[in-house]
Amino acid sequence: MSIKITSDPAEVGFAADRLARIDRRFDRYVDEGKLPGYLAVVTRRGEVVHVGHGGLRDVEAAAPVTPDTRWRIYSMSKPVTSVAAMILFERGELELTDPISRWLPEFAAPRVYVKGAATAPGTVPAVEPIRVWHLLTHTAGLTYGFHHAHAVDEIYRRNGYEWGFPSGADLAGTVEAYASMPLVHQPGAEWNYSVATDVLGRLVEVVSGQSLDAFLAEHVFGPLGMADTGFWTDSPDLAALYTPEPGTGRLLRNDVMGAAATKPPTVLSGGGGLVSTAADYHRFTQMLLRRGELDGVRLLAPRTVDLMATNHLPGNADLEEYGRPLFSETSYQGVGFGLGFSVELNPVAGKSLAAVGEYAWGGAASTAFWVDPANELTAMFFTQLLPSSTYPLRPQFRTLTYQALVS
């Protein structure tokens, strides 16, 4: 299934000449050798008003980006897994306040880092259990090995958890390994971007009695018609993955990481393992925009989607105030976090054109999406450049989209 324009932009309040600025800006990135290729999609009121693409999905093969190109969406998997967990919440299978040790006993007695080196960390007991909502909001105290910001990050790396998983690991064993390592902070005390959604994916498995891929296929992808989304693909339309060469910025093909998406994984990563297309992820964003329903199929109740898209950080704090200082190409000021998404609280604080109530997330290879309920707008950007902090692609895409919205 291919993504295509379904409406004249003017009919839903966009200026076509201003939307064309999106392609011109990202074509420059391609021409300058900063991006291999890209695909940008903008919709309003369910109508696709812009599909822009340029460059190559595979530079070495000279294969162009097309609307059908498949992309590693990495952390754009997190909202999908969060929706899966909320499906179970709606069925009464779990409560957001439940300790996760009810299903994952390895988390029965977590320890929290307080001092020392990664080789000999000093820890204390957690003062409260990790709860389901901590996983959904990244306040559990878990981390990522690739942060390089804390001794616990180093402990993750020493155990083989940085940009991937140790050879032979499965999801159950991976989650047990996470439980054996210290937390960065007490559960609920701070926001720290983390492997929490991988743990959430394992929770979905145990609660539902299905593997994560089977649950998503039956309860999310199948109902929404997302036939081209999964944990791997053998499609020739899969884009290659690139990283910038240190010093020169020249694009280097990264087949070491990129190959992981071409075969069934041993770890079903709900936090970063999915491959998708613009057409498929468009259907996911439209379900969210329509508050849980698409084409007569309802995944979630409207109130559930509203709850997910509300800031859950205590005191309505933003990430700048409540989060760990992690490098990002987007501002943490004026941005909160809900159940699986960032949530825009105050665009003035972040000096952006974002709309209050907009919720969003992105992936490590510079993909991004957002849903803007107030303006009935969604937008998606796809490329395969790792890491996402290389260039300010996301804030520029947001600006370019909103400057084209004229009514």
Which pLDDT does position 350 carry in this prediction? Answer: 92
Q: Is the pLDDT of residue 57 over 90?
A: yes
CA angle in degrees (0–180, nearest 5) for 266-258-239? 125
CA atoms within 13 A on the CB side of 400: 24
Which pLDDT does position 31 carry in this prediction? Answer: 97
- 8 A C-beta contact, residue 229 and residue 278: no
- 8 A C-beta contact, residue 15 and residue 406: yes
Give the residue among 152, 107, 151 at the shortest CA–CA distance from 131.
107
Which pLDDT does position 307 carry in this prediction? Answer: 98
In this structure, of 74-83, 252-261, 326-335, 373-382, the range with the lowest mean pLDDT score is: 326-335
- Span 359-384, pLDDT tens digits: 999 999 999 999 999 999 999 999 99
Sign of CA dihedral 202, 192, 367, 14: positive
Single pTM value for the model: 0.97
Average pLDDT over the chain, rounded to whole? 96
Sequence-distant (6+) residues with CB within 8 A of 209 are none
Give percent above pLDDT 90 in the chain. 96
Domains and CATH numbers, the chain: 9-82+210-402 (3.40.710.10), 96-207 (no CATH)
Q: Is the pLDDT of residue 325 over 70?
A: no
Sign of CA dihedral 326, 327, 329, 334: positive
- Span 248-296, pLDDT tens digits: 999 999 999 999 999 999 999 999 999 999 999 999 999 999 999 999 9
CA angle in degrees (0–180, nearest 5) for 124-128-129? 105
Q: Is the pLDDT of residue 125 over 90?
A: yes
Query: What's the pLDDT band for 137 if we cut at 50, 70, 90?
Result: very high
Over residues 103-112, mean pLDDT: 98
Integer Cα distance of 313 and 327 in angstroms: 20
Written as six digits, the tokens of 197 are: 């959604």
